[in-house]
Amino acid sequence: MKILVASKNSKKLDELEKILSGILDDFKLVSLRDFPDIEEVEETGTTFLENALLKAKTYSAKTGLPTIADDSGLMVFALNFRPGVYSARYGGEGMSDADKCVKLLGEMKPFSKDDDRGARFVSAVAAAKPGGEVVFSIGTCDGIIITEQRGDNGFGFDPIFMPEGYDKTFAELDENIKNKISHRAKALDEIVKFLPDFMNKSE
C-alpha cells in the first residue's frame, strides 16, 4: 500500500522518511512530487493543526491514498509568537531560508539576554484516509534564538535555534539526535503508536 507524504520539500521529506523508517516498512512512501498535476492546498488555517488536517484530508481525497501531512513552524515568545503558522511565508514568497534567518535575527536585536530569546518549534502531524477518517498529534521543542547562523544541516530556522539542553543548533546537531528530540520527531513518535493499525484498518 502507498502512503502519501503531503510535501514537496526535499529536506522535510528526507527527515520524515528517516523518522518513519522501520515503522511503516510495509508501505511505500510517495510525495506530492509524484502528483505534479494536483493543485497545492491553500493553508488557510489559523493553527498548525488546522493546516495539517486540511492538507491531509484534501490530498487524501484528491489522490485516493492515505496521507500524512505536517504543518510546523517557529514561535518566538518576544515577537508575540511570530512567525508561527506563517513561518514558511515569513519574509515573503521566494525568500531563502538563510535570508529568513537574517530577517528574524534582525527582529531579535533588541533582545540581548537568553531569557528574552525563548522560542518553540511546533509540529502538527495529521493522517487521513480517503473516507475521511483522521488521526493527529502535536509535538513541541523549546529553545532559544541565538545571535548568528550556525550549522549546515536541517532547513528553515534550524541554524538559529538552539534546543534546551544542547549547545548546538538544530543545523549543527547530528541528524540522528535531531530526529529524536525535534518537534516533528515528537509529533511522529506519538502518532506512530497507532498509525500502522490506522492505516490497515478498513474504512
Q: Where are the domains of the chain?
A: 2-200
Catalytic residue of the set 71, 97, 142, 189: 71
pLDDT for res 57? 96
pLDDT for res 159? 98
Residue 95 dihedral angles phi and psi, to the nearest 5°: -75, 135
pLDDT for res 103? 97
The whole-angstrom separation of Cα 100 and Cα 182 is 20
The whole-angstrom separation of Cα 73 and Cα 197 is 28
The residue ranking higher by pLDDT, 61 or 2, is: 61
The whole-angstrom separation of Cα 173 and Cα 179 is 10
pLDDT of 202 over the 60 cut? no
pLDDT of 182 over the 90 cut? yes
Q: What's the whole-number average pLDDT of the chain?
A: 91
Angle (deg, nearest 10), helices 10-20 and 183-191: 50
The whole-angstrom separation of Cα 112 and Cα 180 is 30
Catalytic annotation on 167?
no
End-to-end CA distance of the chain: 15
Quick one: cell of 132? Answer: 475521511
List alpha helices for the chain, DSSP H: 10-20, 48-63, 97-107, 175-181, 183-191, 195-200
pLDDT for res 149? 97
Which of the four pLDDT bands, split at 50, 70 and 90, describes residue 131? confident
Contact criterion met (CB below 8 Å) for 192 and 16:
no
* Three-class SS state of 66: coil
Name the amino acid, one letter, at 28: K
Which of the four pLDDT bands, split at 50, 70 and 90, describes residue 102? very high
CATH pick for 2-200 out of 3.90.25.10, 3.40.50.720, 3.90.950.10, 2.60.120.260: 3.90.950.10
